[in-house]
């Protein structure tokens, strides 16, 4: 156990590392690199080859890594807009299942016959490197304006492909795959995915039903309750040997798109928690690496396996997956190049490490080097690839930011609406919003000053509106505000659609 002095030292070092990691986000975003590379290098610098902090506990790294991935997936689900994701969800699911299977097979066969790796190690290499990493993908894609169907497909894939690969790596590492055979392994994967998804849906819809009817005494309790409900799905799935990763992502996806109070605050809380999980995860994985073990042979294997994955397995898996939802070759080409690997492959290597699989240490080193090299190759080139393939958009429209607070004593909701720079609500008069009868704009905050608007008050970019609406009309009020934000005062005629009550 830690004594008081050790605890104080841990808090001091942890605080310094976290502050440096937070400041590093700005540097990495300007360079177009995922921040994971800086965090990994920080871990290496703190480890035995740097400051000298010893860390060789593979089982602890495995447990903490899975916990961090669960937090990251929960944040991914909560911050995913289902409306934007839905048009490309078929392709995303196909890449997360069929695409993963093809990638595993191609990398395993190529690594065995071209690189000379044993079959078990080659299969593990294919399995751990097949899933893309949501944190790595979207830290780069934030600076690349893309059509919604591309971001939706990549988001769906990165959120769902962890589940089947975790099951496969676990079965291979424990020897269960060789014992039960291919059909049994496939049946286990299908069961875990479907059961995990079903429990995630139950936790999400059940939790949303409860949260709509619970008037909590503090707004700070809502983010905590929503995240707890997402992790309830994870725990329930793990209890019946289903996929906890599938459950937590699906539950968070449902909760993040449900009609719940304080959604913006919940997403902000989840995003901050996910950043903390990423920092801790990547630094820990860097600590687990011993640079002295890496030689030219490991680097050669990493480059060879990366070439197979990047230029053969990934394009083939995307091409076959697109059968369910065909896209132009330019868009498929960009999706293929945007399949960034990050923490997930390195975390998955802790499973064979914890199980004591032969050559698992070499596998960890190989995957670590491979992730660093190919993230440096593909990450900074994504904006250029988007321009060359002509899939980049100059500006994707940004919707309103709407925060909701319940006014339970009068059966109403208070909406805090921020008019973003891309909103066409700029220049619209309050009376031209044509909100449902009973809803009204009660206050405008502009340049840190507040005033009560009139019907002829003209709205501006950067304004914050306080809109009071009867609870039964809230969905219509939000839909109307979003229509005006997207199409301006003529939203009723130019692209506006009849409001439909959410299911």
Distance, in Å, from the CA atom of 269 to the CA atom of 247, rounded to the nearest integer, reads 20
pLDDT score at 374:
86
Distance, in Å, from the CA atom of 75 to the CA atom of 65, rounded to the nearest integer, reads 15
Domain boundary, last residue among 388, 412, 445: 388
Whether 394 is covered by a domain: the verdict is: no
Question: Which CATH number characterizes residue 216's domain?
Answer: 1.20.1530.20
- Bridge-based pairing state of the strands 464-470 and 440-446: antiparallel
Percent helix, strand and coil across the chain, each rounded to 5? Answer: 65, 5, 25
Asked if 104 contacts 317 with a C-beta cutoff of 8 angstroms, the reply is: no
pLDDT under 70 in the chain at which residues? 1-6, 25-34, 136-144, 393-411, 491-503
- Which residues on adjacent β-strands are paired with residue 401? 418
Domain boundary, last residue among 332, 354, 388: 388
pLDDT 10s digits, 297-352: 999 999 999 999 999 999 999 999 999 999 999 999 999 998 888 778 888 999 99
Count how many domains the chain has.
Answer: 2
Domain that holds residue 278: 4-388
Q: Looking at the structure, do residues 109 and 222 belong to the same domain, yes or no?
A: yes
Whether 16 is covered by a domain: the verdict is: yes
Domain boundary, last residue among 333, 367, 388: 388
Whether 495 is covered by a domain: the verdict is: no
Q: Looking at the structure, do residues 409 and 381 belong to the same domain, yes or no?
A: no
Q: Which residues contact 3 (CB under 8 A, 6 or more apart)?
A: none
Taking CA atoms, 148 is separated from 3, 78, 86, 198, 213, in Å, by 52, 17, 10, 27, 33
Residue 40 DSSP SS3:
helix
Tokens of 38: 């800086």
pLDDT score at 253:
93
Q: Looking at the structure, do residues 250 and 316 belong to the same domain, yes or no?
A: yes
pLDDT score at 303:
94
Q: Looking at the structure, do residues 144 and 38 belong to the same domain, yes or no?
A: yes
Q: Looking at the structure, do residues 329 and 447 belong to the same domain, yes or no?
A: no
Tokens of 438: 């009973």
Q: Looking at the structure, do residues 25 and 139 belong to the same domain, yes or no?
A: yes
């Amino acid at each position: 156990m830690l004594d008081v002095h050790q605890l104080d030292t841990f808090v001091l070092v942890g605080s310094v590392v976290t502050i440096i990691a937070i400041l590093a986000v700005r540097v990495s975003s300007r360079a177009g690199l995922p921040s994971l590379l800086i965090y990994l290098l920080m871990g290496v610098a703190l480890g035995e080859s740097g400051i000298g902090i010893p860390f060789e506990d593979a089982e602890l790294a495995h447990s903490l890594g899975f916990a961090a991935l669960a937090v990251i997936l929960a944040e991914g689900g909560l911050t995913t807009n289902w409306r934007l994701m839905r048009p490309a969800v078929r392709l995303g699911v196909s890449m997360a299942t069929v695409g993963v299977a093809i990638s595993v097979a191609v990398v395993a066969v190529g690594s065995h016959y071209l690189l000379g790796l044993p079959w078990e190690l080659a299969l593990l290499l294919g399995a751990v490197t097949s899933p893309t990493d949501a944190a790595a993908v979207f830290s780069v894609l934030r600076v690349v304006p893309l059509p919604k169907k591309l971001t939706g497909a990549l988001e769906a894939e990165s959120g769902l492909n962890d589940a089947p690969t975790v099951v496969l790596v676990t079965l291979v590492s424990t020897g269960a795959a060789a014992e039960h055979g291919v059909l049994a392994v496939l049946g286990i994967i299908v069961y875990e995915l479907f059961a995990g998804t079903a429990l995630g849906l139950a936790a999400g819809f059940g939790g949303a039903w409860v949260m709509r009817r619970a008037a909590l005494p503090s707004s700070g309790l809502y983010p905590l309750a929503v995240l707890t409900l997402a992790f309830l799905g994870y725990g329930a799935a793990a209890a019946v040997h289903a996929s906890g990763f599938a459950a937590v992502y699906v539950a968070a996806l449902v909760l993040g798109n449900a009609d719940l109070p304080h959604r913006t605050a919940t997403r902000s809380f989840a995003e901050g928690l996910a950043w903390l999980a990423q920092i801790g995860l990547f630094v820990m994985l860097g600590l687990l690496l011993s640079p002295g073990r890496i030689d030219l042979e490991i680097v050669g294997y990493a480059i060879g396996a990366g070439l197979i994955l990047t230029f053969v397995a990934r394009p083939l898996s995307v091409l076959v997956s697109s059968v369910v939802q065909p896209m132009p070759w330019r868009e498929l080409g960009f999706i293929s190049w945007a399949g960034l690997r990050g923490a997930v492959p390195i975390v998955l290597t802790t499973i064979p490490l914890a199980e004591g699989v032969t050559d698992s240490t070499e596998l960890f080193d190989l995957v670590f080097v491979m992730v660093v090299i190919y993230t440096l190759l593909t990450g900074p080139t994504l904006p250029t690839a988007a321009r060359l393939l002509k899939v980049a958009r100059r500006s994707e429209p940004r919707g309103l930011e709407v925060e909701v607070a319940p006014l339970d004593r009068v059966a109403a909701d208070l909406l805090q609406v921020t008019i973003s720079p891309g909103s066409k609500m700029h220049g619209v008069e309050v009376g031209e919003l044509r909100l449902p009868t009973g809803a009204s704009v009660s206050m405008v905050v502009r340049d840190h000053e507040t005033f009560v608007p009139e019907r002829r008050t003209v709205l501006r970019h950067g304004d914050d509106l306080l809109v009071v609406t009867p609870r039964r009309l809230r969905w219509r009020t939000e839909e109307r505000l979003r229509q005006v934000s997207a199409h301006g005062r003529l939203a009723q005629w130019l692209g506006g659609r009849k409001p439909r009550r959410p299911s």
